[in-house]
Amino acid sequence: MSFNLSELNDKIRQESTFIHSLKQEMAKVIVGQEVMIERLLIGLLCGGHILLEGVPGLAKSLTVSTLAKIIKTSFRRIQFTPDLLPADLIGTMIYNQQKGSFETKKGPIFSNIILADEINRSPAKVQSALLEAMQERQVSIGDKTHLLDDPFLVLATQNPIEQEGTYPLPEAQVDRFMLKVIIDYPNKEDELEIIKRMAHSNNRIEVMPVVQPEDLKRAKKIVDEIYIDEKIHRYIVDIVFATRQPESYNLSDLSDLIQFGASPRASIYLAMAGKAKAFIEGRGYVTPEDIRDVMWDILRHRIMLTFEAEAEEVTAEQIIRRIIDTVEVP
């Protein structure tokens, strides 16, 4: 095993060189926000959709559009509004007078990377159409089903629910997002750099496409090969079960605060994201630290809190912190 692992390490170091080039290009436009950029990379390597939440003005949309340019792949930005219709998203049937028949007019969902901007500003019918695309990688127009492009990735931005004019996303849809990343304000040094770079009316920074879609497809296959020990698998299961049966992990005080624990998708995504994190760092094996690092973004939207927790102002992050501190690390 050690010989194979050494060989895999060398292979990963060679194949992950594009990560450095990608981050360098991103840094031309995006100041700081290293965590957001890394999470987007994890989503790309795993084929997992990502929900970015934060107040307006934190470069969420700019980061996604910049990433699409660097990867040299098809990209569409869809602005979600209260009057958006499913047909505006997936397309519709139109009548061709010359041919005397109906034809399919495909919508903007037919692209590799979709930026669903302010996703929580559109009502249920639109979310239902998007849900089919996210889960099945296909859409239904009229009586026909159309497969979506490969790769297909939804990177959605969301304003915090407490802001006016927003709709809470259905739980089934939220669970389809591999990661929910909370974007915070930049620190003072980063904000100073943002002012220096961006406080010019004619400032337009161009980035170069340094990553080919083939690089990503090759990287995905190698990520699957990354070694994850049985002990790490058991650690993942313990973490997820601690959200469902906290009393079994000396966390009885959490029982009245958690209405529903994380779904099996959490276990699958923790393993996948752990592998992607190892790949980004040029390693051929997953460590417990990889799991602990990605745990926040995989669990925060999968732990449903009780009314009691909301009354006591307990957050999902506080519960995750308790689980991290209590569940034994292999």
- Output the pLDDT for position 306: 86
In tens, the pLDDT along 193-207 reads: 878 777 665 666 777
Question: Does position 2 have pLDDT exceeding 70, yes or no?
Answer: no
In tens, the pLDDT along 138-178 reads: 888 877 888 888 778 898 888 775 566 677 777 777 888 99
CB 49 within 8 A of CB 65: no
CB burial of 180-194 (b: ≥16 within 10 Å; e: otherwise) equals bbbbeebeeeeeeee
Residues of the chain with CATH 1.10.8.80: 226-326
The residues near 232 (Cβ < 8 Å, ≥ 6 apart) are 271, 274, 286, 287, 288, 291, 330
- Three state DSSP letters for 245-311: CHHHHCCHHHCCCEEECCCHHHHHHHHHHHHHHHHHCCCCECCHHHHHHHHHHHHCCCCEECHHHHH
- What is the average pLDDT across 128-132? 84
111 phi, psi to nearest 5 deg: -155, 170
Phi-psi region of 162 (alpha: psi -120 to 50; beta: other; left: phi over 0): alpha
Q: What does the DSSP assignment read for 72-135?
A: T--EEEEE--TT--HHHHHEEEEEETTTTEEEEEE-TTSSSEEEEETGGGS-HHHHHHHHHHHH
Amino acid identity of 181? V
CB 157 within 8 A of CB 116: yes
Please, which residues bridge with residue 101 across strands? 96
CA 36 to CA 52: how far, in whole Å?
Answer: 8
Residues of the chain with CATH 3.40.50.300: 30-199+210-214
For the record, the structure tokens of 279 come out as 């790949």
How many beta carbons lie within 10 A of that of residue 196, not counting itself? 10
Please, which residues bridge with residue 113 across strands? 75, 153
In tens, the pLDDT along 45-73 reads: 998 899 988 877 777 778 888 888 888 88
Question: Does position 1 have pLDDT exceeding 50, yes or no?
Answer: no
Question: Does position 272 have pLDDT exceeding 90, yes or no?
Answer: yes
In tens, the pLDDT along 204-250 reads: 677 788 888 788 888 888 888 888 999 999 999 999 999 999 998 88
CA 64 to CA 212: how far, in whole Å?
Answer: 16
Q: Which CATH number fits domain 30-199+210-214: 2.170.260.10, 1.10.10.10, 3.40.50.300, 3.20.20.120?
A: 3.40.50.300
- Output the pLDDT for position 201: 55
pTM: 0.85
Range 1-5 contact pairs with CB under 8 angstroms and sequence separation of 24 or more:
5/227, 5/284, 5/285
Query: Which overall architecture, per CATH, does domain 226-326 show?
Result: Orthogonal Bundle (1.10)
Helix, strand, coil in percent for the chain, rounding step 5? 50, 15, 35
Using DSSP's 3-state secondary structure scheme, residue 244 falls into helix
CA 325 to CA 323: how far, in whole Å?
Answer: 5
E-strand spans in 137-283?
A: 138-141, 144-147, 153-158, 179-182, 258-260
Q: What is the DSSP letter of 54?
A: -
